[in-house]
């Protein structure tokens, strides 16, 4: 019998206006000089300014916001420089997945002497790290998708190679996560839908990944149920805080569950996120039905096993039809060719990047470079397997 190790240690505070508890959270981790990390699109918003004003009354706060979506290693390096130059002792990361990934990476890299790429999610590369100097992190997501707030990795683009890398260490986990639905209520219907589909992809791929991890499976199933219950509600009424709370929980659950593994949805997405700056949730949503049907022979029984819980007819096609209909209601394009100029895509290069992605190894069906190319081709033509 194979041995397995499980971890679920994250402290999560969920509820309306819980962002007001940030000062309390800073006290919990005993920080004196936190670095607030958020992207350049959020830094001037009123709720960020209010949080900054409150923190500056009690702490020697520094701010880093010189980055946007799909961050690079250079963004992290610049943040580390700000962290060190101001003798910061913690990170408060606020924003979408990019801001949380950068904040976590800064807290991690501020204590390392090796370059960030030496900690890619390959084998036991994470053991190269100096664990003693990893700074504590408080994470506050403003979108409900990536679940980076409960994840043990950051997705960072290597600008020299144009490849998105997954940087991993168990202590990437924030000390405290604050899930406040009020911070997500102004998210546009388009971004609410795309980020919600990202959370669905995490829960779905985690559940379908091979291996024995009943804790991850249980969390993933409930995460899918919450998305089915509340994603369309939140898209139709952004002020529905109960639906917003469900999505925040589902996003955190997806990231918690995918320590079990992901799959080809993410393998295919990451190269396009890096090469074309395509939104990660959108690319995951586009690839989802193609990967589902490609993997069908390996996952059909597992998918059928959860249809009752999701209130779907008990067959694979019913689950697939739910995904397709959900995408349609969210105005998610069916084909990759609807969002990318196909003549600019080098399928051979993209397929190699996808095959080399860390998510590939836990796909339910063993993959080849030709499989990746075929899935890209189907996503362009719109033909399911």
d(C-alpha 271, C-alpha 349), whole Å: 9
Confidence at residue 2, expressed as pLDDT on a 0 to 100 scale = 65
Which CATH architecture group holds 11-183?
Answer: 3-Layer(aba) Sandwich (3.40)
Q: Which residues of the chain have pLDDT under 70?
A: 1-7
Check: CB of residue 221 under 8 Å from CB of residue 169: no
Confidence at residue 5, expressed as pLDDT on a 0 to 100 scale = 62
Would you say how long the chain is, in residues? 385
d(C-alpha 19, C-alpha 249), whole Å: 15
Torsion angle of the four alpha carbons 220, 360, 357, 132, in this order, in degrees rounded to the nearest 10 = 50
C-alpha pair distances (Å), 370 with each of 88, 275, 379? 48, 20, 14
Q: With residue 316 as reference, give the H or E element that holds it.
A: helix 316-329
Task: Report pLDDT digits (tens) over 216-260.
Answer: 999 999 999 999 999 999 999 999 999 999 999 999 999 999 999
Q: Under CATH, domain 187-381 is a member of which superfamily?
A: Dehydroquinate synthase-like - alpha domain (1.20.1090.10)
**In the chain, which ranges are E strands?**
11-14, 34-37, 62-64, 90-95, 137-141, 153-158, 163-168, 176-179
**In 6-124, which ranges are E strands?**
11-14, 34-37, 62-64, 90-95
C-alpha pair distances (Å), 130 with each of 72, 76, 113, 250, 259? 22, 17, 8, 32, 22
Residue 135: DSSP 8-state? P
| DSSP per-residue string spanning 325-361 | HHHHHTT--SSGGGTS-GGG--HHHHHHHHHHSGGGG
Give the three-class secondary structure for 367.
Answer: coil
- Domain residue spans of the chain: 11-183, 187-381
| Average pLDDT value for the chain | 95
Confidence at residue 172, expressed as pLDDT on a 0 to 100 scale = 86
Give this prediction's pTM.
0.93
Confidence at residue 25, expressed as pLDDT on a 0 to 100 scale = 96
Confidence at residue 9, expressed as pLDDT on a 0 to 100 scale = 77
Residue 62's nearest CA partner among 95, 26, 97, 37 is 37
Residue 372 phi/psi, 5-degree rounding, is -60, -45
């Amino acid at each position: 019998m194979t041995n397995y190790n499980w971890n679920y240690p994250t402290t999560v505070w969920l509820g309306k206006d819980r962002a007001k508890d940030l000062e309390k959270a800073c006290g919990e981790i005993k920080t004196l000089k936190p670095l607030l990390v958020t992207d350049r699109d959020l830094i001037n918003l009123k709720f960020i300014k209010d949080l900054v004003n409150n923190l500056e009354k009690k702490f020697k706060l520094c701010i880093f916001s010189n980055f946007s979506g799909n961050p690079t290693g250079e963004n992290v390096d610049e943040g580390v420089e700000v962290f060190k130059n101001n003798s910061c002792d913690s990170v408060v990361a606020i924003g979408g997945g990019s801001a949380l990934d950068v904040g976590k990476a800064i807290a991690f890299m501020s204590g390392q002497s090796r370059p960030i790429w030496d900690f890619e999610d390959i084998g036991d590369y994470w053991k190269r790290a100096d664990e003693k100097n990893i700074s504590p992190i408080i994470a506050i997501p403003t979108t409900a998708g990536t679940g980076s707030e409960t994840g043990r990795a950051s997705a960072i683009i290597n600008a020299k190679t144009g490849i998105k890398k997954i940087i991993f260490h168990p202590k990437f986990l924030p000390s405290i996560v604050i899930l406040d639905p009020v911070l997500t209520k102004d998210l546009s219907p388009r971004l609410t839908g795309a980020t919600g589909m990202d959370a669905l992809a995490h829960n779905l791929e985690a559940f379908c990944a091979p291996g024995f991890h009943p804790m991850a499976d249980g969390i993933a199933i409930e995460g899918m149920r919450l998305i089915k219950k509340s994603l369309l509600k939140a898209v139709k009424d952004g002020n529905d805080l109960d639906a917003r709370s469900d999505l925040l929980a589902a996003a955190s659950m997806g990231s918690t569950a995918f320590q079990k593994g992901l799959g080809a949805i993410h393998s295919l997405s990451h190269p396009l996120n890096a090469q074309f700056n395509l939104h990660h949730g959108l690319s995951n949503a586009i690839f989802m039905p193609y990967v589902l049907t490609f993997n069908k022979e390996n996952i059909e029984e597992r998918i059928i096993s959860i249809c009752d819980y999701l209130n779907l007819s008990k067959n694979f096609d019913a689950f697939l039809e739910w995904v397709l209909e959900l995408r349609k209601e969210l105005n998610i394009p069916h084909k990759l060719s609807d969002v990318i100029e196909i003549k600019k895509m080098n399928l051979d290069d993209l397929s190699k990047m996808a095959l080399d992605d860390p998510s590939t190894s836990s796909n339910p069906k063993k993959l080849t470079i030709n499989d990746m190319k075929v899935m890209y081709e189907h996503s362009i033509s719109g033909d399911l397997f």
